[in-house]
Homo-oligomer: A and B are copies of this chain.
């Protein structure tokens, strides 16, 4: 079965599902900056750089697209600088697709809230304390000037636990802001993702999804999950939400996550993921391997001249030993952070490639070493 959306002239992207659309599915997103085979994982390039990697190193990991952050780039260096540079692709020299997060999550988690208003949020920058206002219109304008291929609506992300009343309020705001965002986008050729909120309340999630779908976005994101709720709730909510999102539009689970969680989410029909886990863990010396996570600073690796992960073909594993990587981490050498990041991102991209193959072949259990 092949489902096609409108040409990316209207949406900023095409999406084609190449397998039956119930459960795990194999798809392809086409943008002005190239193709993303789905399910796909987007490493996080918060400030316009996937920490510690050059574009070439990132490319070598099999990464098809990255997530940058409107909130962070608004504060530093400012969207006006990025726009004058010719947009984020040129500024950071990344030729493949870029998705930007609207900043909703950061405003509610990093910044000091001053006041949540009808059209957006007044807050103080976590960098210099300056007061700012960002709402649906502002977040859309920032993202337009950054020039990503895919952009997201400004939303209210709830933390956990969250009362039903607060979750209801967040859903209403998120829907109101989604309308503002869509209007503000105008005819910009960027694919805008509507974002489903509703905390752990399945009926609120379903309602939010349905009302977003009425607004007709080219793709849908699921936000506010994996924020501390029990794992069963995550997947129950995710499953109910996916059922109410159109099969012919990409589904993006924001900020998730651990390899095992990604596998479960793919089985429920999610197409896109982003998470800081592979890059952040790498800088902390925690390496994903097919035999589980490995803490490279442990003494037992001091004279271990084998590769970090026998099953991995990345630049680190092909060239260097655990002993050398440990030495770099013990000595706090910058190269260690680069090599570990290359490895962890490659691990995630290898996992996604295996998931794509599995979704396409459509049979049997999914297997990929240890998935913690």
Contact A334 B333 (CB under 8 A): no
With A and B bound together, what is the CA distance between A339 and B85 in angstroms? 18
Bitwise, A336-354 to B at CB < 8 A (1) or not (0) is 0111000000000000000
Which residues in B have their C-beta under 8 angstroms from that of A366?
none
- Contact flags A55-66 to B (C-beta < 8 A → 1, else 0): 000000000000
Q: Is A371 an interface residue (CB 8 A)?
A: no
> Which of B48, B81, B305 has a CB less than 8 Å from the CB of A303?
B81
Q: Which residues of B contact A85 (CB under 8 A)?
A: 305, 321, 323-324
Knowing A93-B320, A303-B84, A321-B85 are in contact, say whether A334-B51 is a contact too (CB < 8 A). Answer: yes
Instruction: Determine whether the beta carbon of A334 is less than 8 Å from that of B334.
Output: yes
Contact A91 B324 (CB under 8 A): yes
CB distance A54 to B334 under 8 Å? no
Shortest Cβ distance from residue A335 to the other chain B in the assembled complex, whole angstroms: 5
**C-alpha spacing A77/B330, complex, angstroms:** 9
Q: With contacts A92-B324, A321-B91 known, is A81 near B51, CB below 8 A?
A: no
Pick from B53, B92, B331, B334: contact of A52, CB below 8 A. B334
Interface flag for A213 (CB, 8 Å): no
Whether A328 is near chain B, meaning CB under 8 Å from some CB there, is yes
Assembled-state Cα–Cα distance A366/B333 (Å): 37
Complex contact B305–A335 (CB within 8 A): no
Q: How far is the CA of A76 from the CA of B305 in the complex (A)?
A: 16
Residue of B nearest to A47 (CB): B331
Is A53 in contact with B323, judged by CB distance below 8 angstroms?
A: no
Q: Is A106 an interface residue (CB 8 A)?
A: no
Counting contact residues on chain A (CB < 8 A from B), the size range is 35 or more
A302 contact from B81, B305, B324, B334, Cβ within 8 A: B81
Residues of B near A315 (CB, < 8 A) are 54
The A278-300 residues at the B interface (CB cut-off 8 A) are none
Known: A77-B323, A77-B327, A85-B323. A333 touches B47 (CB 8 A): yes
Q: Is A319 an interface residue (CB 8 A)?
A: yes
Closest-by-CB residue of B relative to A75 is B331
A30 contacts the other chain (Cβ, under 8 Å)? no
Determine if A81 and B47 form an interchain contact, defined as CB atoms under 8 angstroms apart: no
Is A49 an interface residue when CB atoms closer than 8 A count as contact?
A: yes
Task: Determine the distance from Cα of A178 to Cα of B204 in the docked complex, in whole angstroms.
Answer: 80
Task: List chain B residues, Cβ under 8 A from A84.
Answer: 303, 305
A54 CB contacts on chain B under 8 angstroms: 315, 335, 338-339
Q: How far is the CB of A47 from chain B (nearest CB, A)?
A: 5
Collect the chain B residues with CB atoms within 8 Å of residue A47's CB.
Answer: 327-328, 331, 333
User: A81 to chain B: which residues have CB within 8 Å?
Assistant: 302-303, 323, 327
Separation of A331 and B334 alpha carbons in the complex (Å)? 16
Interface pair B338/A334, CB less than 8 Å apart: yes
Residue of B nearest to A321 (CB): B85
29 A-B pairs (CB sep. < 8 Å):
A47-B327, A47-B328, A47-B333, A48-B324, A48-B327, A49-B335, A51-B333, A51-B334, A51-B335, A52-B334, A52-B338, A54-B315, A54-B335, A54-B338, A54-B339, A76-B327, A76-B330, A77-B323, A81-B302, A81-B303, A84-B305, A85-B321, A85-B324, A91-B323, A91-B324, A91-B327, A334-B337, A334-B338, A338-B338
The 8 closest A-B pairs by CB, nearest first: A52-B334, A77-B327, A49-B335, A47-B331, A93-B319, A49-B333, A91-B324, A76-B331
Q: Which residues of A contact B (CB under 8 A)?
A: 47-49, 51-54, 76-77, 81, 84-85, 91-93, 302-303, 305, 315, 319-321, 323-324, 326-328, 330-331, 333-335, 337-339
